[in-house]
Amino acid sequence: MADRRKNILFIMYDQLRFDYLGCTGHPHLKTPHFDRLAAMGVRFSRAYVQSPICGASRMSFYTGRYVHSHGASWNGFPLKVGEITLGDHLRKAGMDAVLVGKTHMRVDADGMERLGLARDTIIGARVAECGFDLWERDDGLWGKGPDGYYDRGPQPYNDYLKAKGYPGDNPWHDFANAALDENGDMASGWFMKNADRPANIAEEDSETPYMTRRAEEFIASRHERPWLCHLSYIKPHWPYIVPAPYHAMYGPADVQPAIRCEGERQDPHPVYRAFMDNEIGRAFQREVVRQKVIPAYMGLIKQCDDQLGRLLAFLEERGELADTMIVVTSDHGDYLGDHWLGEKDLFHEQSVKVPLIVYDPSPEADATRGTVCDQLVESIDLAATFIEAAGAAVPDHIVEGRSLLPLVRGETPEDWRDFVVSEYDYGPTPMAAELGVAPDRARLFMVADRRWKYVHAEGFRPMLFDLETDPDEFRDLGGDPEHADIAALMAARLAAWARRPSQRTTRSDAEIEAMRHGGGRTGILIGIYDDADIDPELTQAYRGRPGRD
Amino acid sequence: MADRRKNILFIMYDQLRFDYLGCTGHPHLKTPHFDRLAAMGVRFSRAYVQSPICGASRMSFYTGRYVHSHGASWNGFPLKVGEITLGDHLRKAGMDAVLVGKTHMRVDADGMERLGLARDTIIGARVAECGFDLWERDDGLWGKGPDGYYDRGPQPYNDYLKAKGYPGDNPWHDFANAALDENGDMASGWFMKNADRPANIAEEDSETPYMTRRAEEFIASRHERPWLCHLSYIKPHWPYIVPAPYHAMYGPADVQPAIRCEGERQDPHPVYRAFMDNEIGRAFQREVVRQKVIPAYMGLIKQCDDQLGRLLAFLEERGELADTMIVVTSDHGDYLGDHWLGEKDLFHEQSVKVPLIVYDPSPEADATRGTVCDQLVESIDLAATFIEAAGAAVPDHIVEGRSLLPLVRGETPEDWRDFVVSEYDYGPTPMAAELGVAPDRARLFMVADRRWKYVHAEGFRPMLFDLETDPDEFRDLGGDPEHADIAALMAARLAAWARRPSQRTTRSDAEIEAMRHGGGRTGILIGIYDDADIDPELTQAYRGRPGRD
């Protein structure tokens, strides 16, 4: 192609823990294709998401901005019209941004109506889809209850299953996410007791292979311009159930002991306690749940690995591996019973740290292939990385992340960040109701550097962990007088971060610097007493007879 | 009219100091019409603007949001597309929002282009004009230098002057803002030495009477719906020059001594020092400048007062005084040499505190007429006030101010605020260059309660003043160990304020609270092990034979 820029394949998994890959050290789970990609590129060992929950985390990936900046702080909170997305930046640089899979983005319908934006226009469709052009949008959450579907949008994957002959209204659930019991009735994947059964679907029709094929179709289609393809899988996210043969690849013997200790249950932080005590926390405290769920979770990851292998082979066969930057990551982790918790939401490493591998085919990245980078990285860095890869300058008055390309190319900028920030809005959860916390106060902020992790909870005492001496994060030092200086340092970092001018997005730093010395050239003359104070050129319009032209 | 809601006349002056009115205690300046309005309504003695500079301050008035929230932190920084304005809120409530005069709003042209918004559509025009429908937009800053006009927009006031026969390209300057010298040449108002001369214009053609008439024309026009009219004068803002007879009403004998002391020049705060040492600060340190400027400034205010009287009489004659809420305020003050400073920008009371009078014709406000309210009030409160006056609930997940109607009606809410916040972005100023401060760090924040005023400057020591024992703000206690506890309290308030979820504007608190208890009703079932864990109603879609409809 004439345009020498690489295409970008930006692969996201959902709820994939950082330590459930071969290359990140899992003792039983072998992931040769993830490991191959890590050998081809750089693996980041300290990559944190901006919020350990799907929607908020993804809006940060897709805007390059903190949750505190874009405001879509929980699932289903619309990304407000006006937020500038990765797609906006890339298109401006001459690249397309195409979605295959999940974004968990909710449209700001009020905002679109206020601005008269219609979804059937090109611009309106992009605003409604988080800046992407759709190849396929499917969030993979086709739950349906007494109030109807959780997701009211089109159901392309269900349509596919129906076209393949799977009966009923919701084959996503009935086949892809349910097994059969002894009576031939559904054994729903929503019931974790069924996690060891095989999903009642041909493996090739299950969600991960389906979405891989959709990505291949996009890649093989005709392209006018270089592209970023966001291939975004729902798995290994719950429901925890996987088709054969993956359902039987792992068993209770492969389940690692839960990372938790009794000390965590003695005088826990009130917010942490509320999460431990909720239905999910209590479920994952039961060993039977872990024994059922974790092998299925591993099977789902193994299937993801096989599909990644397929995709790498597909690119290789097409001769595109040298022309495609590939990034794999996840939107957050999964506690799986660690710290007496299930799901994600809070800030232990199992929840807030994600796997991140960046394969940059450029020769400049040859020296770092197969290496691990332990710099502090945030999910907002990817938007900046992609913009730089597209050949544009990162508009750092809008995008708050930093490009990873220098790190991928073996250069660590001297002013690389000292700490990362992650946030969680528990306002919409039952835990906020139980704790009596108002929606605008139900906020948690994590500040972490290479040693310390500090959690600020509005209205409650802070938490503090020493990742060096206590890597399992068992000892909360938030109330320890001997660590008051560290807590104060972290609080000061949080305060400085919170004051950042995140909304000053209509003037760049360079434009502002240029304003510092231009006084008077458009005729605004302040502080001038008489002629002695000013260059006569600046006052020529204001001399002579009045009304002369 | 069938709609019993009052109209709202929202009058803003520009650079009007809080203490330059009769009713606020000026010893020589008599302002009977301002005083009359104060007797009709409530005067607020602790009203602070969100930023002591025109553009940023106004964007806070017009959005009801802090500068840190809307991001338009300096003059000429566009208000980003997507920010919701007072006009949006009022129209939703069935009221019109119409502009007569100045907003200092810069359109976010990039944002409009990105969203495909055209200025020749109704929606696009409102986005481009800060949410107002235009009766007339005229910012009153028709400076022109070697690079052309400061303001590139239409010039309705210049067009008016030209139609009246004033010659030349820029009669705004040549006549409204210039006098004649002894030779018949222009004595420009930009040169403060000319401030005691009469502007070379018929008084009725000068800016304040002109804009008053334009407002009267709007008020007298046909209205379909109740309206808010934002009558926004450029005066008493510089150029400091006023036509006869106002130029001769005050003289050097009426000039109050500068509020400043030698102590302020000993080891001043570095940012404060940079402002004292700039061209404007140095000019206003000269007594000759104060002697020339202040009488002209007083004359401009006297003219504003006469025009306010005219407007009140106009409404009275039309029988609309009982149907019109009237609010007068300013976008910031003017140092006029106090604290060795000119202009505004910093946080002494002369700059950051503004006059504020609210006349509410409702019977509920009868008991407070003529009273002074000393509660802490912010300029963002007006948007909330107007929304409540329009009969709508204040969307407090968007608007950060609080309605003043309870205060005007004699009720002080128990949870009224404990402190106010104001901000200043000096990034575009030469002072930032001199101090070597990057654009994203050139931020000042003021936190003030009824006794203490604290100023945080990124990268510098804080300032602290005791308004009770040092009402003139001469003694900076920012470095005083005996006040370290107060400084820490104020810093903690700033930190809490900075963490507020200002961008979570697409979900209200009520919507979030409703989310706390709805689990499972749209079929997302998390943490369920088996039937014992859940209401069977929630799983009915997931039972029986697969594929049944």
Q: How many structural domains comprise chain A?
A: 2
Q: What is the mean pLDDT of chain B?
A: 96
- Amino acid sitting at position A462: P
Pair (B533, B470) in one structural domain: no
Determine which helix (DSSP H) or strand (DSSP E) holds B446, and give its type and residue range: strand B443-448
Question: How far is it, in rounded angstroms, from Cα A385 to Cα B225?
Answer: 51
What is the distance of C-alpha B343 from the center of its chain? 15
Question: How far is it, in rounded angstroms, from Cα B207 to Cα B489?
Answer: 46
Which tops the pLDDT comparison, A548 or A409? A409
Question: How far is it, in rounded angstroms, from Cα A40 to Cα A365?
Answer: 10
Q: Is residue B7 part of a domain?
A: no
Pair (B37, B121) in one structural domain: yes
Q: CATH code at B59?
A: 3.40.720.10
Nearest to A428 among B516, B524, B546 (CB): B516
**Chain B residues lying within 8 Å of A539, measured CB to CB:** 188, 190-191
pLDDT of residue A475: 97
- Chains A & B: contacts with CB separation below 8 Å: 371
Rounded percentage of chain A residues whose pLDDT exceeds 70: 99
CB atoms A173 and B512 under 8 Å: no
Q: Is residue A536 very low, low, confident or very high in pLDDT (cuts 50, 70, 90)?
A: confident
B475 has pLDDT over 70: yes
Pair (A427, A394) in one structural domain: yes
Q: Up-side HSE of residue A220: CA atoms within 13 Å toward CB? A: 11
Rounded percentage of chain A residues whose pLDDT exceeds 90: 95
Mutate to test the interface with A, among B529, B539, B549 (most CBs of A within 10 A): B529
Rounded percentage of chain B residues whose pLDDT exceeds 90: 95
pLDDT digits (tens, 9 = 90+) for A226-254: 999 999 999 999 999 999 999 999 999 99
Pair (B390, B529) in one structural domain: no
B66 has pLDDT over 80: yes
Query: Does residue B406 sit at the A interface (CB-CB below 8 Å)?
Result: no
CB atoms A537 and B504 under 8 Å: no
Nearest to A443 among B70, B174, B499 (CB): B499
Nearest to A443 among B281, B501, B540 (CB): B501
Pair (B407, B529) in one structural domain: no
Q: Is residue B475 part of a domain?
A: yes
Q: Is residue B548 very low, low, confident or very high in pLDDT (cuts 50, 70, 90)?
A: confident
Domain hosting residue B526, numbered range? 517-542
Pair (B485, B536) in one structural domain: no
CB atoms A283 and B79 under 8 Å: no
CB atoms A522 and B110 under 8 Å: no
Dihedral (CA of B293, B299, B302, B307) sign: negative
pLDDT of residue A549: 67
CB atoms A175 and B546 under 8 Å: yes
Pair (A481, A524) in one structural domain: no
Closest to B5 measured CA to CA, from B358, B313, B314, B362: B362
Mean pLDDT along residues A364-374: 97
pLDDT digits (tens, 9 = 90+) for B68-87: 999 999 999 999 999 999 99
A1 has pLDDT over 60: no
CB atoms B116 and A114 under 8 Å: no
Pair (B49, B129) in one structural domain: yes
Q: Is residue A506 part of a domain?
A: no
Distance from CA of B92 to the nearest CA of A (A): 10
Closest to A490 measured CA to CA, from A545, A542, A452: A452
pLDDT of residue B3: 61
pLDDT digits (tens, 9 = 90+) for B222-242: 999 999 999 999 999 999 999
Q: Is residue B1 part of a domain?
A: no
pLDDT of residue B517: 84
Q: Is residue A523 part of a domain?
A: yes
Within the 471-490 window of chain B, which residues sit less than 8 Å (CB to CB) from chain A? none
Nearest to B115 among A117, A146, A530 (CB): A117
Mutate to test the interface with A, among B14, B15, B515 (most CBs of A within 10 A): B515
* Residues B457, B446 contacting (CB under 8 angstroms): no
Pair (B533, B456) in one structural domain: no
Closest to B83 measured CA to CA, from A79, A72, A80, A69: A80
DSSP reduced 3-state for A352 = helix
- Which of A196-210, A409-423, A532-546, B199-213 has the weakest average pLDDT? A532-546
| ipTM of the complex, rounded to two decimals | 0.96
Dihedral (CA of A505, A509, A511, A516) sign: positive
Query: Does residue A282 sit at the B interface (CB-CB below 8 Å)?
Result: yes
Q: Is residue A7 part of a domain?
A: no
Q: Up-side HSE of residue B247: CA atoms within 13 Å toward CB? A: 22
pLDDT of residue A328: 98
Q: Is residue B120 part of a domain?
A: yes
pLDDT digits (tens, 9 = 90+) for B154-184: 999 999 999 999 999 999 999 999 999 999 9
pLDDT of residue A3: 61
* Residues A449, B505 contacting (CB under 8 angstroms): no
The string of DSSP letters for B325-376 reads EEEEEES----TTGGG--SS-S-SHHHHEE-EEEE--SGGGGGGTTEEE-S-
**Residue A385: partners with Cβ closer than 8 Å, 6 or more residues away:** A327, A358, A401, A403, A404, A405, A408
SS3 for A93-117 is: CCCEEEEEECCCCCCCHHHHHHCCC
Pair (A193, A101) in one structural domain: yes
Q: Is residue B331 part of a domain?
A: yes
Pair (A225, A301) in one structural domain: yes
Q: Is residue A441 very low, low, confident or very high in pLDDT (cuts 50, 70, 90)?
A: very high
Q: What's the pTM value of the predicted model, to 2 decimals?
A: 0.97
* Residues B448, B420 contacting (CB under 8 angstroms): yes
Q: Is residue B128 very low, low, confident or very high in pLDDT (cuts 50, 70, 90)?
A: very high
CB atoms A283 and B533 under 8 Å: yes
Pair (B34, B64) in one structural domain: yes
Nearest to B193 among A145, A504, A530 (CB): A530
Question: How far is it, in rounded angstroms, from Cα B420 to Cα B410?
Answer: 21
Question: How far is it, in rounded angstroms, from Cα A444 to Cα A243?
Answer: 37
Distance from CA of A538 to the nearest CA of B (A): 6
Query: How many other CB atoms are there within 10 angstroms of residue B224's CB atom?
Result: 7
pLDDT of residue B1: 42
Distance from CA of A110 to the nearest CA of B (A): 8
CB atoms B170 and A541 under 8 Å: yes
Question: How far is it, in rounded angstroms, from Cα B471 to Cα B451?
Answer: 9
Nearest to A521 among B147, B168, B491 (CB): B147
pLDDT digits (tens, 9 = 90+) for B317-341: 999 999 999 999 999 999 999 999 9
B132 has pLDDT over 60: yes
pLDDT of residue B470: 98
Question: How far is it, in rounded angstroms, from Cα A35 to Cα A391?
Answer: 28
A354 has pLDDT over 50: yes
DSSP reduced 3-state for B15 = coil
Question: How far is it, in rounded angstroms, from Cα B479 to Cα B483?
Answer: 8
Rounded percentage of chain B residues whose pLDDT exceeds 70: 99
Query: Does residue A468 sit at the B interface (CB-CB below 8 Å)?
Result: no
pLDDT of residue A186: 96
Mean pLDDT along residues B285-306: 98
